[in-house]
Structures are given as structure tokens and as C-alpha cells.
Amino acid sequence: MGRYDFRALRVRQNAKALVDSKRNPALPLWYNIVGDIPPSETLARPVLRAPRPKGNSKPSRMFQPLPIVYPEDRLRKDFFGDHPWELARPRIILEDSGNDAKGYDWSRIEQPGKPLDGESVVQRQLWLMQHEKLPKAQAYDKARREFYRHRHLEAVKRRVAKEEALSTGAYFGKGPLEVGMELEDQAFEHWRNWATQQIETEQANRAQMMSGPQNETQELSEGELDLAVEEVAESIPATNEGKSALGGAMLHP
């Protein structure tokens, strides 16, 4: 076994060999088919770029595919560099038949069946550069202005359509901001209820603390006072026994 397993590619030769060595009684039914329609050549690497050895270095990357570059690429980079939010607009990239781009005529920026987007500007700019022989910057300016104008018209159309619809009784429901504000209001109300409850319980606790049973802090009776004084008297700091007892029953009842 080498690095590659060519058994899949050599099914015909193997079938023949098996029949020749009488392992198999007959050739499979696909034997002639695979002979007539042979598998294509595999593992052949076409030379994709001319070797350019520098000095004594060996030619490298000769068999690696080359990048595909189009003249629009730079224009696209410029436009989307200047208008990065154009990339945030939703866009349909599904192809209908694969011939979608063949029906476009870039002598005007609007195309039937294609929404206006940054790609329109790029294609229009390229068309202006190729057909009207405008310099790049000028073509960019022209295409850009047309784009802005159509975007403005679109906004106007949208507004007018909305007004018309409203005038004939349409109801569009709540907008995202209204929905957001409602949710925020709900959250605030919830918090307010919670906070009111907290304040009430806190106040109740405090009131209970103030008006609770007072007899917990007991006054020392005469006898107890005497005892305590005696305890303290025993631990006078001057003596050895008194040093450990800091304070006493009277100080910490």
C-alpha cells in the first residue's frame, strides 16, 4: 500500500485480472462500459504559474491556484469603504437561472428585477469608465450621485405609500420603538411594585424594632450588681489574676 489507494480507479483492470486468474467466473456487466467511458486522469497537477526562481532558490507555488481578480474589485472596495453601512442592508444572493446579470443594462443605474444597492454603483461606475471614458473619480461621483438620488426617491415613495395607506384606513401596528418602550414600561412597573413591597416590609420591620418588647435589656438587681462588682474587684489589673479579665460581667452583661 502506497500513499494512495488506486483500487477504485482500477476496477476494470482488476475485474479482468480476476477473470484471468479464474477467481471470478465472468466479467461484470459494466466492464465494457468502463472501458468505453474511462475515468478521467487524477492526481495530475497542472502548472498554474510560471516559475520565477530568485537566485538559487527553487521555484515554488507553481501548482497552486491563482487568485481570480476582476476590475470591479477595486471600485467595490472604494465604495464599500466609503459606505460601510451599505453592507448591513439585507440582500438576496440567490441566482434564478445563472443568467440574471445578462439582462442588466448599466447605461442606467436602475435595473428591472434588481434592488438598488452598492453593486449597482460599482457596475454603473465601471460602465461609465468603459463607455463614456470618464476618469475613475468622476465616474464614481456620477454613479454615487445617481445612487443617492434614487435612494432619496425610494424614501419619498415609501413615505407617500405609507401616507396613502394610512389615509385609506391601514393600520401598521406598533413600531419597534413603541414595542421597546412598552417592554421598558412593563419592566419599570414590575420594578416599582417590587420596590414598594420592599419599602413596606422595611418600614414594618423598623416599626417593629421601635415598638417591640423592651424588657429584653434587663436592669441589674441589687444582688447581681454586688456580684458583678465583686467579680470586677477580684480582677484588679494590678494583680496577676486580673490581667486576663478585660472588662467583666458588669461591662458586658
Partner 1 sequence: MIIRSVVWRQGRRAVAQKFWQPLRTFSSAVDSIDSSAQNSLKQLHSLEAQINAAAPTATPVASIDPETATTAQSAVSESLADQYHRFKARESELGDLGTEISPHYQPNTLLNNPPSPADVTLELLLASEAHQGHATSLWNPANARYIHGIRQGIHIISLETTAAHLRRAAKVVQEVSRRGGIVLFVGTRPGQERAVVKAAELSKGYHLFERWIPGSITNGQQILGRCKTKVVNEKDEEVQGFEEQLFDRAALRPDLVVCLNPLENYVLLHECALNNIPTIGVIDTNADPTWVTYPIPANDDSLRCIQVIAGVLGRAGEQGSKQRLAAAEKGVITFPPARNLRLPEEPEAEAEAPKRESEALGRLLDGAEAISSHIKPELFSTSKSDHSLHNADDLGDMLDETNNHETNRRIKQVV
Contact residues for partner 1, defined by CB under 8 A: 4-9, 11, 14-16, 18-20, 25-34, 36-37, 39-46, 48, 63-68, 94-99, 113, 167-168
User: Is 234 in contact with 250 (CB distance < 8 Å)?
Assistant: no
How far apart are CB 70 and partner 1 at their closest, in Å? 9
Which residue's C-alpha cell is 479464474?
22
Judged by CB, which is closer to partner 1: 41, or 241?
Answer: 41
3-state secondary structure of 114: strand
How far apart are CB 46 and partner 1 at their closest, in Å? 5
How far apart are CB 112 and partner 1 at their closest, in Å? 9
Judged by CB, which is closer to partner 1: 97, or 208?
Answer: 97
Distance CA 100, CA 111 (A): 11
How far apart are CB 38 and partner 1 at their closest, in Å? 9
How far apart are CB 143 and partner 1 at their closest, in Å? 23
3-state secondary structure of 111: strand
Tally of CB atoms within 10 A around 124: 24
Among 90, 79, 161, smallest CA distance to 126 is for 79
Among 46, 44, 38, 40, smallest CA distance to 12 is for 38
Among 167, 117, 121, 161, smallest CA distance to 144 is for 121
Judged by CB, which is closer to partner 1: 66, or 251?
Answer: 66
Judged by CB, which is closer to partner 1: 4, or 194?
Answer: 4
Judged by CB, which is closer to partner 1: 50, or 66?
Answer: 66
